[in-house]
Amino acid sequence: MQQVEVQAYYNYVDHVMDNYSLRDFMPSMMMPNPRPAIRTGETTGGRLLTELKRGERTRAKLGLDTQANEHAGALDDEPADDALRAHGPRR
């Protein structure tokens, strides 16, 4: 065995988007009122890699990658705190 490499990562995003703060709101049948939306996301993952030296000119790399994503959100007509507690990523 030549070397072993292990990596792990975690990312959490929590932000609010809306359809009125960066431009004038234009009502439509699909969206008659301005509204904010809360979005969250959680990503976790890791990697394990090993390099095997089988001879002077022969090497093999074996590895495993994994990633898990959870996303949740709520619109202003839903109770945001309740929606995120019920469906959002655990922190």
Q: Binning pLDDT at 50, 70 and 90, where does residue 25 land?
A: confident
Using alpha carbons, list the distances in angstroms from residue 67 to 8, 47, 64, 74: 10, 9, 10, 24
Of the candidates 52, 59, 55, the one whose C-alpha atom is nearest the C-alpha of residue 3 is 52
Alpha carbon distance 2, 60 (integer Å) = 10
* Whether the model pTM is above 0.95: no
Give the confidence band of 42 by pLDDT, cuts at 50, 70, 90.
very high
pLDDT greater at residue 56 or residue 47? 47
- Whether the predicted pLDDT of 83 surpasses 70: no
11 pLDDT more than 90:
yes
Instruction: Give the per-residue pLDDT at 31.
Output: 82
